[in-house]
Structure 1
Amino acid sequence: MYTLNLDHADFLKHYWQKQPVVIKNAFPNFSDPITAEELAGLACEEEISSRIILTKGNNWEIIQGPIEDYTPFGENNWQLLVQAVNHWFPDSAPLVEAFRFIPDWRFDDLMVSFATPGGGVGPHIDNYDVFLLQGEGQRRWKVGPLGQYSPRGGDTHTALIDDFEPMIDVVLEPGDMLYIPPGFPHRGETIETALSYSIGFRAPSQQELMSSIADHLIDNNTGLKRFTSLSEPSTAGLLTQAQQSGMVNLLSELLSQPQHYQQVLGQLLSQNRFELDICEQEGPYSQDELLEAFEEGALLQRIGGLKVIRLEGDSVQRLFINGEIYPLEGLTDEMLDTLANQFSFDHQQALALCSNKTLTDYFLWLVNQGYAYLA
């Protein structure tokens, strides 16, 4: 169990998406949920996103995983980064749970790094919120103010920038944490061999939202209403301001319809950027086998990283799960919240819920999809 030493309401009011803050002793007596050896084991896997960053003076070289041999890197000036550790390493789940005062739809992943002295990432700007939690060892972090920064070497495809004047310069020790909102430049350098945890939260961009809306309209063959106007310009080559406004209003009318935007938001925000550790089944469970497992004391556990989201005011009773839609007609909002919020159900709760055939079918679907397993 990890308890975050933070006043949630105060943090959300004064810092969240506003300004960086150092939170000393955020996790008192912090214990790393994963070892360096276990992290290296994850980095060997083809389906897990990992990379090595080598520090070479004022430059950095990236080596994409899988990584199986670390001897060429020496004892200094490199770090290993492994994405979505919460998908593949169940012991990390309690740490993620401590950050659920931020909604699940925003949560991106838990990235874990192992870094040698001198290892780090150059000055860069992220487009997402991040909590940087220090485990074993020490790292020095610098954070600069919002501003206009030139991309390093003029390369607009990289997050790296030219250096900045720090407004925060701090050494994090085990259990300390630094929060950085989007847009604030920062850089980290390892003082002594360290494990660090990056808990990232991401919101959709305009581009992502518009692309998802377009895909939805094409997939459902809708949004076919065409623009009309009551008058035309006197010259053939002119598009009037009234016509421009009319076309924008046509688009606004479409985007204001819940039957379009609710499905798009639910599917988009329940998807993960990184691969899930789907539980492969030898064969589908039957309803009788599922109920028998619960009667024998089995616990139903969602796989790591699975997002289950309910939309407030949804026009349909349903949940969005990893980009899929599961209809749940006849359930109360309270019950839908329970299904969305809980990561696991013990055998007593599961059996009680399975008195409702709709919920039995839902649990059976989760298990047979590989989105949950019996423990």
Structure 2
Amino acid sequence: MTDYSFADLVGDEKEFFAEYFNKKPLLRKNALKDPRGILSLRRLDEMVQLEIIRPPYLRANLKGAGVPDKGFTQTVTVQGTDLTDAIVPEKVYELFRAGATIVWSSLNHLDASLRSFTRVISDRFGAKTDCVAFLTPAGKQGFSPHHDPVDLFIVQTEGTKRWRLWNPAEQRAGEAASYTPEQLGEPVIDVLLEPGDVLYLPYDTPHAAAAEELASVHLSIMVRPRMWKDLLKQTVDELVRDPEFNRFPYIGESRDSATEDLFTEKVRTLAARLTAVEPAAELDRLAQLGRRMPGNSTGTTFQTTARLDALEPDAPMRRTDAVVEFGANQEGRVQVTVNGHRIAVPAPVAETLAGLTAGQQLAAADVFPGVPAERATKTAQGLARIGLLEVAA
């Protein structure tokens, strides 16, 4: 699949965030040059045939109503374990031929290339994304006019689909809702989407879509940028991790005034720490949290762990950004806590680690000064396996 950038989806990024984000829909015709490389009918056929696809990853909607799972699943036995909801491809095809829209939810959980595609958006927003595919038969409308409580990026990959969009209301609750045609009036956008076209819908944007002459495949990439209340809660959660806030107070009817005074003191302490928060660093931290939410993550742990097995003394290592706590030196050994692991390391190793900043490099043989290179390299391997060091190249 072609690698796309966020600008491929929205055009000029500054214009997008100034004029469209959280304000009004955006239409970009012929924005993506290889839409079938993102998702095609062929790949949807392949996925239906995979025994691992089960509800709720696959659903069917016929005549505006969801089809019960039992209408297209069966029980199969895998290595002695019964799966009661395995997809029956023939029944899914029957539903599609009868006019049902087939919906694949959270495809970024199942397909690495789609995970990479959606991560282009999650990286920009610092928020969780989810990728849903809709296959609608020619001439059918999948769902009645409605709005969703998330921002949507619509990518047409095969066939055509007519979309009607209305501007979101001035006051938005961030909850799903349906409409009758009479409630909406004339749409602000009425367009036939073709392969490569992209739509952006701010949350709570009313919309309706129907396939026309051709069966339609489109992706809806859902992104929920966290509201201020979400971000502030995560900041407070981080601040109250301090042991100072760990004690259990009694707050029942027979509490004394000292408890109320202590509550006031804790509120003032928290307020002072909130005031002292450095905004740029905290927003960067919150954005990174969003990028690591389920459905967004990526990693190469199997590959990097296998590389450690063949680590050479001159291999460049670097300190990760993992939070590390160093204990006191007790008879030449220092207790180190990182990523939930607590180990005791020789004092020279602890001194080496304490002197490294995140990203700083050194050779594997230099991790444990004063010992043979082979022993120092083994130490570097162990520290890498718990996430304190990593291979730099």
TM-score, normalised via structure 2 length: 0.57
Paired letter, 2:321: R
Match of 2:197 in 1: 176
Match of 2:271 in 1: 252
Structure 1 unpaired stretches of 5+ = 228-243, 296-316, 337-352, 368-375
Match of 1:34 in 2: 39
Given that residues 81 and 112 in structure 1 are in contact (C-alpha distance below 8 angstroms), is that contact kept between their aligned partners in structure 2?
Answer: yes
Q: Mean Cα displacement is larger for which, 6-15 or 280-289?
A: 280-289
Per-residue CA deviation, residues 320-349 of structure 1 (Å, 9 max, x unaligned), is 9xxx799998446xx59xxxxxxxxxxxxx
Match of 1:318 in 2: 321
Match of 1:24 in 2: 29
> What SS does the aligned partner of 1:80 have?
strand
> What SS does the aligned partner of 1:179 have?
strand
> What SS does the aligned partner of 1:103 have?
helix
Aligned pairs for 1:203-242 within 5 A:
203-205=225-227, 208-209=230-231, 212=234, 221-223=243-245
Match of 1:68 in 2: 88
Structure 1 residues 14 and 73: CA distance shift in structure 2, 3 A = same
Q: Mean Cα displacement is larger for which, 27-36 or 163-172?
A: 27-36
Matched, 1:79 2:96: no
1:213: Cα distance to partner? 6.0
Given that residues 60 and 122 in structure 1 are in contact (C-alpha distance below 8 angstroms), is that contact kept between their aligned partners in structure 2?
Answer: no
Count of residue correspondences: 304
Paired letter, 1:30: P
Structure 2 unpaired stretches of 5+ = 70-84, 250-262, 324-338, 342-352, 368-379, 388-393
Identity %: 18
Matched, 1:13 2:18: yes
Question: For the pair shown, which has the larger CA radius of gyration, 1 or 2?
Answer: 2
Q: CA RMSD in A?
A: 5.3
Match of 1:54 in 2: 61
1:128: Cα distance to partner? 2.3
Matched, 1:161 2:181: no
Matched, 1:197 2:219: yes
Aligned pairs for 1:108-123 within 5 A:
108-117=129-138, 118-123=140-145
> What SS does the aligned partner of 1:39 have?
helix
Per-residue CA deviation, residues 334-368 of structure 1 (Å, 9 max, x unaligned), is x59xxxxxxxxxxxxxxxx785789x87995599x
Structure 1 residues 34 and 184: CA distance shift in structure 2, 3 A = closer
1:76: Cα distance to partner? 4.4
Match of 1:131 in 2: 153
> What SS does the aligned partner of 2:113 have?
helix
More helix by share: 2
Given that residues 143 and 185 in structure 1 are in contact (C-alpha distance below 8 angstroms), is that contact kept between their aligned partners in structure 2?
Answer: yes
Given that residues 57 and 106 in structure 2 are in contact (C-alpha distance below 8 angstroms), is that contact kept between their aligned partners in structure 1?
Answer: no
Structure 1 residues 98 and 273: CA distance shift in structure 2, 3 A = closer
Q: Distance in 1 between matches of 2:20 and 2:190?
A: 18
1:108: Cα distance to partner? 0.8
Match of 2:163 in 1: 141
1:196: Cα distance to partner? 0.8
1:171: Cα distance to partner? 1.0
Per-residue CA deviation, residues 290-320 of structure 1 (Å, 9 max, x unaligned), is 669x99xxxxxxxxxxxxxxxxxxxxx8369
> What SS does the aligned partner of 1:130 have?
strand
